[in-house]
Amino acid sequence: MKKILCIICFLFLIFITGCTSLKNKLISNMNEKYSDDENYVYLSGEVVELDGNNIIIKCTELKKYINYEDEFCDYYIYSNEIIELSVGEKIYFKTVPFHFYNGHKLPIVEIKVKENTILSFDEGKKNLLDWINTNFK
């Protein structure tokens, strides 16, 4: 019985170590991807649905970057304040068109409506990197 208990504890320890290592790798990959300004692109689209800073945008341009993605995509606006937009509004936004397959939405780090900047790239990018390093620790 002791031998079985030791084996179970050993396997559990290996599992926990593996999960921690994978999480650290994810944090590293996300920081690397989102720190490089070259990975960001500008897209335009129409706001379809809003819930705080969670947003669904109809954007046909996204398919150029993520071929399996629908033209309706979930995004998250990385602002410390709720961004006021309206359903049907046309926006110009900056994102990294890449999924880490960890359940998070594509990030929006800059938003322009017509000529007005609603969220600046520097602020949005800083908020995104802060979110990664706070929520995945």
> What pLDDT, on the 0 to 100 scale, is given for residue 99?
75
pLDDT digits (tens, 9 = 90+) for 51-87: 999 999 999 898 888 877 788 888 999 999 988 899 9
> What pLDDT, on the 0 to 100 scale, is given for residue 6?
57
Nearest to 59 by CA among 50, 48, 51, 85: 48
> What pLDDT, on the 0 to 100 scale, is given for residue 18?
46
The structural domains of the chain, ordered by start, are 39-135 (2.40.50.320)
For β-strands 72-77 and 90-95, DSSP reports them as unpaired
pLDDT mean over 106-131: 94
Q: Check pLDDT > 70 for residue 136.
A: no
Spatial distance between the Cα atoms of 88 and 4, rounded to a whole number of angstroms: 61
Q: Give Dmax over CA atoms of the chain in angstroms.
A: 71
